[in-house]
Amino acid sequence: MADNSGGNLLWFLAGLGIGAVAGVLYAPRAGEETRSALRDRAVQGRDLVSEKARVTREQASDWVDKGRDTLNDQRDRIRTAVETGFQKYRTATAVEEQEDVAPGV
């Protein structure tokens, strides 16, 4: 098996060389044009990522604002419910105290 691995490496290197030659022969553009096109694509990709990041930040900010508003609304509702409950409790205990005092009068 050790003899076979050396042959495999040789075939791999031969295929790599043939692929590189074929790539150069069939390249649609000259080297400078290819580098320029790659640079342009990189700039477009960077701009796209920047735009997506900006949009994502704005959406996240909107979600945080909506979450904060919802939390504040819920807090106000709970506070109102608790105050209403306390008021009803005070009213109920005041009525019971008046009933306890009234029969003795």
Structure tokens at 42: 């990189």
Render the chain in DSSP notation, one character per residue. -HHHHHHHHHHHHHHHHHHHHHHHHT-SS-HHHHHHHHHHHHHHHHHHHHHHHHHHHHHHHHHHHHHHHHHHHHHHHHHHHHHHHHHHHHHHHHHHHHHHHGGG-
- What was the pLDDT predicted at 1? 45
- How far apart are the C-alpha atoms of 65 and 89, rounded to whole Å? 36
Q: Which tens digits make up the pLDDT trace of 8-45? A: 888 888 898 888 878 776 777 777 887 788 788 889 98
The pTM of the full predicted model, rounded to 2 decimals, is 0.46
- What was the pLDDT predicted at 17? 85
Neighbours of 26 (CB within 10 A): 7
Structure tokens at 55: 């949009």
Q: Which tens digits make up the pLDDT trace of 65-84? A: 999 999 999 999 999 999 99
